[in-house]
Structure 1
Amino acid sequence: MQGKSIIHAITRLKLFLRGHEQEEARRMLLWAGVVGILGALATVLFREGIQLVQLLFTRHSGSLVHIAEGLTWWQRLLIPLAGGLLAGAILQFGLKWVGSARTTDYMEAIVAGDGVIGVRASLVKSLSSLFTVGSGGSIGREGAMVQLAAMVGSAAGHWVHLPQHKQRLLVACGAAAGLAAAYNAPIAGALFVAEIVIGTIAMDSFGPLIVASVVSNTTIHHFLGYAPVYQIPAFQFLSNWELIFYAALGYLLGHLAPSFITLLDRSESLFARTRLPLTLKLGLGGLMVGAISTFYPQVWGNGYSVVNSLLHQNIAWQLLALVLIFKIIATAATIGSGAVGGVFTPTLFIGAAFGSLFGTALGAIFPGMISPSSAYAIVGMGAFLAAATHAPLMAILMIFEMTLDYKITLPLMLACVIAYTVARDHRGSESIYAGALRRKRGLHAAEIAPVSKSP
C-alpha cells in the first residue's frame, strides 16, 4: 500500500512538472532553477575530481602551474604523457563498452537533436577529461563542467517526459548553469548559450537560462563557498584618448582569432592523418605538452593561474611572449589529439597575454601616460573571446561581471565590437564553436531549430 502511495506521489510530481500549456512558462522557470542547483553540484564533483587526479599524479593539489614548477624536468615530461594515455584509453575502450548511440555533445543536442544526451557516454568522456586536465593537459576544465551540467538538464527533462522543444531548452539551461558556475558570471553564462548555441535572446528561452545561471552561481559561490577563478584587480583608465589604443588592440586580436581557429583545425587534421589509436593520439598530445613544459612549465593547465599572475605582477615581456607562443602550440596539440575539454579558458589566456604585451609596449613608448598592462590584459581577454566565439555581447558582459567596474565599459565595448567585426569579416571565418559543430556533424546555421517553440 505504501509502495502504491509513493508511485502515485511520483506520478503527480511528474505531471506537475510537465504542467499545462497556460502555466508552461512558470513551470519552465521552476525546472530551470532545479537544473541550476543540480548543474552546480555536478561541476563541484568535477572540480574535486581534478584535485584527486592531481594528487594521484603529483602528490599535490592546487594550481597546476605552481605544481609543475616544483617538479623535475622528467616529471613534467612524463606526467602529461601518462595522463594522455589514460585519458585516451578511457575514451577508446570506455565508449566502446557503453555502446551509446546518443550524442554527448550538448550543442548538437540543442541545435539539431532531440535534447537527449547519452548519460553513460557523457560520464566516460568526463572521466577522460579529468585525467587530461589533472595531468597538465593544455585545455579548459569548463568543457566537461558545462557538459555535465547539460547532461543533468537532459536527464531531468527525460525523467518527466517533456516535449522535445522543452527538453532541448533544459539542456541549454544546464549548459548556462555550468558556465555560470565555472566563471562566476551568471549573465554571461546565459548569454553564451543564447548567442552561441540557440542564436536568440527571446524571453521564452532567455528567461529560463537566466534563472538556471543565477541559481547555479548562487549555489556554488555563496552556499558552497567556491571563490571566482580570476582575481581581477581594479581597472585603471587614465584618459579617453587611450580608446585609440584599445581599438587597435581589438583590431589586432580580431585578426589573431581566425588564425588560432585555423591552427586548431589543422592540428586536428594532422593528428587524424597519423591513424593512431585514440589512446596513442592523446598520449602523443600529452607528450608534446610535456616536452614544452620541460622548459616552460607555465603551459600546464588551462592558463588561469598565469592570467592571475600577469594581472597582479609584472612578468618579463620576453618570457610572457614565449609562454604565449608555446601555450598556443600546447593547446593545439591537446585539442588536436582529441582530448575532451574546453577552449574557453585557453582563449581568455591568449587574450590576456597578448593584451599585457600590447600594454607593456605602449608603456615603453609612452612612459607614465598609459594605463598599466593589466588593464590591457583584462580588455584583451574580452576582445579575443568576442573574436573567437563571435559573441561580443557575451564577452562584454562576462568581463564586466568579473570586474564589476564601470570604468571598463567604454574600452571593453569598443575592443570587443571591433575584434568581433574584424574576425567575422575574415575570409572563411567561423566561430570556434561553429567550426567544431561543423566538423563533427556537418551542421550549419540554417539547420538549427529554435528551442523556444514547439515544432
Structure 2
Amino acid sequence: MNAPHTSRPWQTLALALCGGALGALLVSGFQGLLHALEWLMAGRSGSLVDIARQLPPWQRALAPALGGLLAGVILEQGRKWLSGARAGDYLEAVRVGDGYLSLRRTLLNSLSSLSTVASGGSIGREGAMVALSALGGSLLTRLAPMSLPRRRLLTACGIAAGWAAAYHAPLSAIAFVCEVVWRRLAWRALPALSLSALAASLTVGHLFGLAPLYQPAPLPAPDRLALAGYCLLAVLLGAGAPLFLIAMEQGRSLMSRLPVRLPLRMALGGAIVGGLAWFWPQMWGNGYSTVSWLLVNNAAWQLVLTLLVCKLAATAATSGSGAVGGIFTPMLFAGAAGGALAGQLLNLLLPGWLPPGGAVLVGMAAFLAATAQAPVLAVLMLMELTGAYRMLLPVVLAALLAARIARRLGGRALYRDEDEIRR
C-alpha cells in the first residue's frame, strides 16, 4: 500500500482527533452493553471466569452453547437485512478498499459478537471493539468529499483508536496499524494515527482511568544468565508458534465442513467450550483473568498444560464455528501459558534460572511476535499492558528471536489476509 498522503493536513488531523474520541466512545459503549448482559445473566459483571465459577457446572456448560446459537441466528437472519450491503472488513477497507465500512454489517457483526462474548465464548472482545471504532473513522470520511488515501487513513485512524481504547495502549495501536494492517511504516500517516490513538486513550482515561491491564509481580532486572534463559525460552515459543497456527486452521477447517446451518454450528462451538468449562471455568472468555493469575503465581505445570490444551481447543471451536471476534487476547493466553511451561522446564535444568512471572511476560511477547510476525508490536504491547519497563531488554530480544525462528520454520503471519483479521 502506498503511504497515505493528504492535501489538507489540518483537516485530516482534526478529523483524526474526532475519530479518536468517537472510537473510544464506541468501544466504551460496547463494554457497557457487555457488562449489562453479564448483570442479566449472573447478577454481576466483571471477570467472566469469576462468573463461571459461581455458576453450577450445568449452567456454565449450557450458556456458551445458547450464546453461540443466538449469535448464529443473528448472523443468519441478518443476511436478509444485509442484501446489497458492502463488506464490513476493516483490513480490506484500509489495505485495498476505499475506506468504506458498511454500517449495517458492522453493527450486525458486533451484535453477534456481543452474544458470543457475553455467554462465555472463547474469543476476544477486541475484534468487535476495533471494528466499531474503524466504523467511526469510516463514517467521518462521508462528511465531505476527499481523496482515496485520506479515506483509507481516517479509517485506519479509527482502527488505531479502537486498539488504544480496548488495550489502554496507544503506542502499540500505531504499531498495529503500521506493522500488521499496512505492513509498512508510513511516515506521513504517523501524525494522524498518533493523534487518534492519543485522543482515544485520553477519552478512556478520563472516563475509566488508564492503568495497565495486567499487574505482574515485581521482577528483578535480568542479568546475563537470565537474558540467556529468556532467549532459550523465545526459541521454544518461536518453534511452537507455527504449530499453534496450524491447530487453529485445522479447527476452523473441521468446523466449517460440518453439514449443519450456521446457528447449529455456532451452538456446537459453544457446547465444546461449555463442556470444557464444566471442569475448568477458565475456558470462559478470552483468557484475560488466567493470564493475570499466571503473572503473579507459580502454577503447577500439569495445571498450566491442561489449561493451555483445553483453551486452544475452546478457541479453535469458537472461532472455527463462525463466531465474530478476535483471537488476539487468547493468543496472549497461549504465550503466557507457553512461557510458564518453558520457564519451568528451564528451571529444572538450572534451579532459579528464570522468575515465573518473567517467563510468563516474556513468553507473551515472544509468542505474539512469532504468530503475528510483528516484533515491534509485541514489544510495545507488553510494555503498555504490564508497565514492566525493566523487562524491556529481554522482551526485545525474545520478540526478535521468536519472530525469526517462526519465519525460518515456515510460520506465516496470523493476520496474513482479510479473513484472518476479521476473526
**By the TM > 0.5 criterion, same fold?**
yes
CA distance in 2, matches of 1:146, 1:439: 11
What does the per-residue CA deviation read over 1:399-444, in whole Å, with 9 as the maximum and x for residues that have no partner?
12233344212211111011111112223x321111553798xxxx
Quote how far apart the aligned CAs of 1:292 are.
Answer: 0.7
| Correspondent of 1:432 among 411, 414, 417 | 414
The 5 A counterparts of 1:400-411 are 400-411=383-394
Mapped to 1, the partners of 2:174 and 2:126 lie a distance apart of 15
Larger Rg: 1
Structure-2 change in CA distance of 1:310 and 1:143 (3 Å): same
1:218 aligned residue (181, 202, 206)? 202
What is the correspondence of 1:152-191 to structure 2 with a 5 Å cutoff? Answer: 152-191=136-175
Question: In the TM superposition, what are the counterparts of 1:364-379 in structure 2 within 5 Å?
Answer: 364-367=348-351, 369-379=352-362
Q: Are the counterparts in 1 of residues 372 and 413 from structure 2 also a CA contact under 8 Å?
A: yes
Select between 64-73 and 262-271 the one with higher mean Cα deviation.
262-271
Distance 1:403 1:99, change over 3 A: same
Task: Compute the displacement of 1:70 (Å).
Answer: 1.3
Partner of 1:99: 83
- Taking only aligned residues, the RMSD between alpha carbons, in angstroms, comes to 1.9
Match of 2:214 in 1: 230
Give the Å deviation of 1:207: 2.1
Q: Does residue 37 of structure 2 align to residue 57 of structure 1?
A: no
Aligned position for 1:420: 403
Give the whole-Å Cα distance in 2 for the aligned partners of 1:294 and 1:138.
14
Of 277, 289, 292, the residue aligned with 1:308 is: 292
Which residue number in structure 1 is paired with residue 187 of structure 2?
Answer: 203
Deviations 1:244-276 (A, max 9, x none): 211111111112211111222222211221132
CA distance in 2, matches of 1:260, 1:151: 31
Using the size of structure 1 for normalisation, the TM-score is 0.88
State which of 105, 123, 132 in structure 2 corresponds to 1:148: 132
Residue 127 of structure 1 corresponds to which residue in structure 2? 111
CA contact 2:168–2:210 (8 Å) conserved in 1: no
Distance (Å, rounded) in 1 between the aligned partners of 2:219 and 2:12: 38
Higher mean displacement: 410-419 or 258-267: 258-267
Q: Aligned runs of 1:381-392 on 2, under 5 Å?
A: 381-392=364-375
Q: Does 1:71 pair with 2:60?
A: no
Query: CA deviation digits over 1:15-68, x for unaligned, max 9?
Result: xxxxx975x222222211110000000000111111122223333311011111
**Deviation at residue 188 of structure 1 after TM alignment:** 0.4
Other-structure match for 1:10:
none
CA distance in 2, matches of 1:21, 1:342: 31
> Is 1:111 the equivalent of 2:95?
yes
Contact 2:366/2:395, CA 8 A, preserved across alignment: yes
- Distance in 2 (CA, whole Å) between partners of 1:301 and 1:142 is 12
For the residues of structure 2 that align with 1:137 and 1:161, how far apart are their CA atoms?
A: 41
State which of 323, 328, 332 in structure 1 corresponds to 2:312. 328
With over 3 angstroms needed to count, the CA separation of the structure-2 counterparts of 1:252 and 1:96, relative to structure 1, is farther
Which of 16, 19, 27 aligns to 1:35? It is 19
**1:101-123 alpha-carbon deviations (Å, 9 max, x no partner):** 31111001111211100001100
**Which segment drifts farther, 46-55 or 337-346?**
46-55
Q: What letter is aligned with 1:65?
A: V
What one-letter code is carried by the residue in structure 2 that aligns with 1:353? A
Amino acid at match of 2:50: H
Q: Distance between the aligned counterparts of 1:282 and 1:132, measured in 2?
A: 9
Residue 96 of structure 1: CA displacement?
Answer: 2.2
Shifted more, 54-63 versus 261-270: the winner is 54-63
Query: C-alpha displacement at 1:395, in angstroms?
Result: 0.7
2:138/2:155 contact within 8 Å kept: yes
Superposed displacement of residue 187, structure 1: 0.6
State the 1:236 CA deviation: 2.4
For 2:40 and 2:158, how far apart are their aligned partners in 1? Answer: 30
Q: Percent identity?
A: 44
8 A Cα contact 1:86 1:131, kept in partner? yes
Name the amino acid aligned to 1:147: A
Take 2:168 and 2:238, find their aligned partners in 1: how far apart are those partners?
26
Q: Where does the alignment leave 5 or more consecutive residues of structure 2 unmatched?
A: none
Shift of 1:239: 1.7
Aligned counterpart for 1:193 among listed residues 177, 186, 205 = 177
Q: Distance in 1 between matches of 2:156 and 2:43?
A: 37
Corresponding residue number in structure 2 for 1:444: none
Kept in 2: contact 1:235–1:375 (CA 8 A): yes
Q: Give the secondary-structure state (helix, strand or coil) at the position aligned to 1:329.
A: helix
Alignment match, 1:452 = none
Do the aligned residues in 2 keep the contact of 1:234 with 1:403 (CA within 8 Å)? no
Tell me how far apart the structure 2 counterparts of residues 190 and 151 of structure 1 sit (CA, whole Å). 17
Residue identity opposite 1:332 in structure 2: A
Displacement, 1:206? Answer: 2.2
The 8 Å contact of residues 287 and 330 in structure 2, kept in 1 or not, is answered as yes
Aligned-pair CA distance for 1:238: 4.0
| C-alpha separation in 1, matches of 2:6 and 2:395 | 42
CA contact (8 A) 2:213 2:385 kept: no
Which residue, out of 219, 236, 243, partners 1:252?
Answer: 236
The equivalent residue for 1:11 is none
Q: Is the 8 A contact 2:233 2:363 kept in 1?
A: yes
Which range moves more in the overlay, 402-411 or 116-125? 402-411
CA distance in 1, matches of 2:420, 2:326: 17
Shift of 1:344: 0.8
Matched residues in 2 for 1:423 and 1:366: separation?
A: 26
Alignment partners' CA distance in 2, 1:357 and 1:207: 41
* Structure 1, 127-136 or 227-236: larger mean CA deviation: 227-236
Q: Deviations over 1:195-234 (max 9, x none)?
A: 1111222221122111111111111023443654322333
Q: Which amino acid aligns with 2:224?
A: N
1:45–1:216 distance in 2 versus 1, CA, 3 Å = same
Letter in 2 for 1:408: M
Deviation (angstroms), 1:100 = 4.3
